């Protein structure tokens, strides 16, 4: 019986995620289902059949080029497909397809705009701006999100720019809080708390202790709570206004 030599046909896989690993000058790939690689790595998915589209190591998935045993042995020290697949799956680089890249970018963009929206307000109405309006202003200022960098840090940079340029009236939303401390706690932790306060609006002292109404950056609220945990029962912080303005 004759052997039919078929040319390498292009493998048309839908919803495929490639995981790639380079060993020396050789490249190896496996074809996985979308989103399943991360599930496998975080141990949410434990069934390999649910992760792999084809239980085979390739040199090039899209061209249908299967890795030969000689290359596998030279690169991995074994020709055991299961062992090699597990190594690539665990340590390889995920190659996102265009649909996944776009979905990831959209998710980061939404997260970026939501951070800005929750941290900024219109100083006159004290209302937040919708993400769509913030996006238009940032487009005008030519500020674009870099998907490879920290979303949160870029959001803080964008806020600085928006506040500086005032495309529309915008201010960083602050939090008005009331900090109550016993005399003992005041002596012990006030200097530490003070570093997290932007401005003091009112301060009153009596025989029991001190009560301070102040404006803080919302990011510092958690820090103040942590400091007060160190003086058990001798201090408290209460939020008076989530949308306060400094000065």
CB atoms within 10 A of CB 173: 23
Q: Which domains does the chain have, with CATH numbers?
A: 16-95 (3.30.1250.10), 98-171 (1.10.10.900), 174-244 (3.30.70.240)
Q: What is the pLDDT of residue 246?
A: 65
For 23-38, the pLDDT digits (tens) are 988 999 999 997 899 8
Q: What is the pLDDT of residue 243?
A: 77
Q: Which residues of the chain have pLDDT under 50?
A: 1-10
Q: Which parts of the chain fold into alpha helices (H)?
A: 36-41, 48-51, 69-76, 81-91, 98-119, 131-140, 151-165, 183-194, 221-229
> Measuring CA to CA, which residue among 202, 198, 203, 205 is closest to residue 221?
198
227 exposed, middle or buried (CB, 10 Å; 0-12, 13-18, 19+)? buried
Q: What is the pLDDT of residue 104?
A: 84
Q: What is the pLDDT of residue 14?
A: 63
Q: What is the pLDDT of residue 101?
A: 80
For 6-28, the pLDDT digits (tens) are 444 445 566 788 999 999 889 99
Q: What is the pLDDT of residue 225?
A: 94
**CA 48 vs CA 18, 32, 84, 90, 222: distances in Å:** 15, 10, 13, 12, 42
Q: What is the pLDDT of residue 5?
A: 41
Q: What is the pLDDT of residue 21?
A: 96
């Amino acid at each position: 019986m004759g052997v039919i030599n078929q040319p390498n046909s292009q493998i048309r896989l839908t919803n495929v995620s490639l995981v790639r690993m380079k060993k020396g000058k050789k490249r190896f790939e496996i074809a996985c289902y979308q989103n399943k690689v991360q599930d496998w790595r975080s141990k949410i998915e434990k069934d390999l059949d649910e992760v792999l589209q084809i239980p085979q190591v390739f040199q090039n998935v899209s061209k249908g080029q299967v890795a030969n045993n000689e290359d596998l042995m030279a690169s991995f020290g074994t020709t055991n497909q299961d062992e090699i697949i597990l190594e690539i799956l665990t340590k390889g680089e995920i190659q996102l397809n265009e649909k996944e890249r776009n979905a990831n970018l959209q998710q980061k963009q939404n997260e970026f705009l939501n951070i800005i929206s929750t941290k900024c307000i219109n100083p006159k109405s004290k209302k937040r701006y919708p993400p769509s309006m913030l996006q238009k202003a940032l487009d005008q200022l030519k500020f674009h999100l870099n998907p490879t960098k920290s979303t949160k840090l870029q959001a803080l940079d964008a806020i600085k720019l928006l506040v500086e340029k005032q495309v529309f009236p915008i201010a960083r939303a602050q939090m008005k809080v009331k900090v109550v401390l016993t005399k003992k706690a005041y002596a012990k932790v006030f200097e530490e708390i003070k570093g997290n306060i932007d401005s003091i609006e009112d301060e009153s002292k009596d025989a029991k202790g001190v009560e301070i109404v102040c404006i803080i950056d919302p990011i510092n609220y958690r820090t103040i709570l942590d400091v007060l945990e160190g003086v058990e029962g001798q201090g408290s912080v209460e939020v008076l206004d989530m949308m306060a303005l400094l000065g």
